C-alpha cells in the first residue's frame, strides 16, 4: 500500500528534512506541500537541494489543501498546529513537529509557551518507556523537541534503573538550524562564526519541562533539570553532556552495563565502545544517536554524553520513525543508518 503524505511548513528546515527523507521512503507518495508567507512560490526557491520537488508550488496551509491525505506532517511554528489539526479528520494520521501537543501539563504550557493549551498527544520517541506500543495505534503524534530527544535518551537508562538521583545537569551545544529559518541578528554568519554563546540560561529554555516530563515518567523520585543550551558555529547537530549524582557503590562498569542492556535492541541508539566519545559529525544526516557513559568517581556523578542530528533523529527522522510505527510498517524504512563524512 502507498500512503499519500502532505507536509505543512515545507519551506522550513524541519519541512525540508521531512521531504528529504520521504523522497527515499518506498511506501509514500508526497502530496500537498504548504507554507505560510512563502505560499505561491516554488519549493526549489527555499529547498534547492530537493531537486525532485523543486518545481512543486507551495500552497497555503489550510485544511482544504491538507485534505485527502493519509498522513499530514505539521512543521509549523509553535502555537500554530492546534488550530490546523482540529480541522483534520480523526482517521488521518497527524504528526506535529512543533511543541503544541508535547506537554501533558496545561500549567507547564501556560508558563513556558502561553496561549491556548491544545492538549497532549502520544509522544513520538519510540525508545522511551512504553511509547513504541502506544505509537502503533496512534492517529495523533507529538514529535519531541531536539534537545529533549538527546537529553532524554542520554539519561533515561540511568534514571529508569535507579542508579542516579534525578537531579540532572544538561549542557548541550547545538548548531544554528535548531533556531529555524527566521532572520535573527544573533544567527548571522558574522555573529556565529568563531564564537560559542550560551542562551536560555538559568532554567529559562522552553525544552526544560519536556525533559523533566520524560524523565519523570521513568521514576517515582522528584526530577530536577538544570539545562543550559549553547549555540555553536555549525549548521546542524547537538552534543549533550549530562550528569547526575550516582548512588553509592555504582561503578563505571555498572553504569555501562545498564546502558548496554537498555539499548541492546535499539538499532538507532548506539552505546559506543569504551574510550570512544560521541561527535556530531558521526551522526550527521542519520537517524542515529551516539552515547558514551562513565562515572566520575571523585565527584560521585554519572557523566553521559550523547550526539544527534537535530534535524534528523531530533525532528524529521523521529517523525517518520513514528509514522512507520503508526502505519504498521517496519520503523526503520526510509531512515538512514549511516552518517555523512567528512
What pLDDT score was predicted for residue 226? 98
Which stretches within 106-145 are classed as H helix? Answer: 106-112, 131-135
**Separation CA 185–CA 135 (nearest Å):** 39
Tell me if the domain spanning 3-144+313-326 has CATH number 3.30.70.260. Answer: no
What pLDDT score was predicted for residue 183? 67
In angstroms, how far is CA 192 from the centroid of its own chain? 23
SS percent in the chain: helix, strand, coil, step 5: 30, 25, 45
Lookup: cell for 331: 520503523
Cβ pair 120, 142 in contact under 8 A: yes
The vertex-204 CA angle with 202 and 209, nearest 5°, equals 115
Return the half-sphere exposure (C-beta side, CA atoms, 13 A cut-off) of residue 160: 18
What pLDDT score was predicted for residue 180? 76
Cβ pair 286, 337 in contact under 8 A: yes
List the catalytic residues: 146
**Separation CA 49–CA 53 (nearest Å):** 9
**Separation CA 238–CA 280 (nearest Å):** 6
Cβ pair 334, 21 in contact under 8 A: yes
In 3D space, the residue among 146, 122, 149 whose CA is nearest the CA of residue 133 turns out to be 122
What pLDDT score was predicted for residue 186? 76
What pLDDT score was predicted for residue 5? 98
In 3D space, the residue among 227, 210, 217, 204 whose CA is nearest the CA of residue 101 turns out to be 210
Backbone phi and psi for residue 28, each to the nearest 5 degrees, phi listed first: -125, 150
In 3D space, the residue among 202, 217, 30 whose CA is nearest the CA of residue 122 turns out to be 217
The arrangement of secondary structure in 147-310, i.e. its CATH architecture, is 2-Layer Sandwich (3.30)
Other CB atoms within 10 Å distance of the CB of residue 77: 14
How would you write the pLDDT of the chain (342 residues) with one tens digit per residue? Answer: 999 999 999 999 999 999 999 999 999 999 999 999 999 999 999 999 999 999 999 999 999 999 999 999 999 998 899 999 999 999 999 999 999 999 999 999 999 999 889 999 999 999 999 999 999 999 999 999 999 999 999 999 999 999 999 999 999 999 988 777 776 777 777 787 888 999 999 999 999 999 999 999 999 999 999 999 999 999 999 999 999 999 999 999 999 999 999 999 999 999 999 999 999 999 999 999 999 999 999 999 999 999 999 999 999 999 999 999 999 999 999 999 999 998
3 state DSSP class of 153? helix
Which stretches within the chain are classed as H helix? Answer: 13-22, 63-66, 81-86, 106-112, 131-135, 146-161, 189-192, 208-216, 252-262, 317-326
Cβ pair 27, 333 in contact under 8 A: yes
Cβ pair 178, 316 in contact under 8 A: no
Strand order through the sheet with 3-8: 59-60, 28-35, 3-8, 71-74, 93-96, 140-142
Overall residue count recorded for the chain in this entry: 342
For the chain, which residues make up each domain, given as ranges?
3-144+313-326, 147-310
In 3D space, the residue among 101, 115, 215 whose CA is nearest the CA of residue 165 turns out to be 215
Cβ pair 227, 147 in contact under 8 A: yes
* Cβ-count burial 22-37 (b if 16+ within 10 Å, e if not): beebebbebbbbbbee
Cβ pair 95, 124 in contact under 8 A: yes
What pLDDT score was predicted for residue 342? 86
Amino acid at each position: 500500500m502507498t500512503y499519500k503524505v502532505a507536509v505543512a511548513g515545507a519551506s522550513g528546515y524541519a519541512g525540508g528534512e521531512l521531504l528529504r527523507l520521504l523522497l527515499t521512503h518506498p511506501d509514500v507518495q508526497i502530496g500537498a506541500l504548504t507554507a505560510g508567507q512563502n505560499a505561491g512560490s516554488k519549493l526549489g526557491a527555499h529547498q534547492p537541494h530537493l531537486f525532485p520537488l523543486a518545481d512543486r508550488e507551495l500552497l497555503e496551509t489550510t485544511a482544504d489543501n491538507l485534505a485527502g491525505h493519509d498522513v499530514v506532517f505539521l512543521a509549523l511554528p509553535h502555537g500554530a498546529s492546534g488550530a490546523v489539526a482540529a480541522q483534520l479528520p480523526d482517521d488521518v494520521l497527524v504528526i506535529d513537529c512543533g511543541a503544541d501537543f508535547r506537554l501533558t501539563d496545561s500549567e507547564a504550557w501556560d508558563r513556558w509557551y502561553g496561549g491556548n493549551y491544545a492538549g497532549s498527544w502520544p509522544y513520538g520517541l519510540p525508545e522511551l518507556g512504553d511509547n513504541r506500543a502506544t505509537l502503533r495505534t496512534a492517529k495523533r503524534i507529538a514529535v519531541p523537541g531536539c534537545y529533549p530527544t538527546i537529553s532524554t535518551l542520554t539519561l533515561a537508562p540511568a534514571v529508569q534503573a535507579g542508579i542516579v538521583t534525578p537531579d540532572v545537569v544538561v549542557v548541550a551545544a547545538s548548531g544554528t538550524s535548531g533556531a529555524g529559518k527566521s532572520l535573527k541578528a544573533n544567527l548571522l554568519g558574522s555573529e556565529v562564526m568563531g564564537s560559542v554563546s550560551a542562551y536560555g540560561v538559568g532554567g529559562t529554555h522552553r525544552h526544560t519541562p519536556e525533559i523533566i516530563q520524560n524523565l519523570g515518567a521513568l521514576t517515582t523520585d522528584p526530577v530536577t533539570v538544570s539545562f543550559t543550551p549553547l549555540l555553536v558555529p555549525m549548521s546542524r547537530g547537538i552534543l549533550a553532556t549530562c550528569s547526575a549524582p550516582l548512588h553509592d557503590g555504582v561503578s563505571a562498569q555498572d553504569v555501562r552495563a545498564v546502558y548496554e542492556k537498555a539499548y541492546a535492541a535499539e538499532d538507532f541508539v548506539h552505546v559506543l565502545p569504551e574510550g570512544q566519545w560521541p561527535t556530531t559529525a558521526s551522526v550527521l544526516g542519520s537517524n542515529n544517536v551516539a552515547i558514551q557513559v562513565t562515572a566520575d568517581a571523585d565527584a560521585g556523578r554519572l557523566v553521559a554524553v550523547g550526539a544527534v542530528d537535530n534535524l534528523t533523529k531530533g525532528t524529521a527522522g523521529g517523525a517518520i520513525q513514528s509514522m512507520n510505527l503508526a502505519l504498521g510498517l517496519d520503523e526503520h524504512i526510509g531512515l538512514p543508518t549511516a552518517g555523512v563524512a567528512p
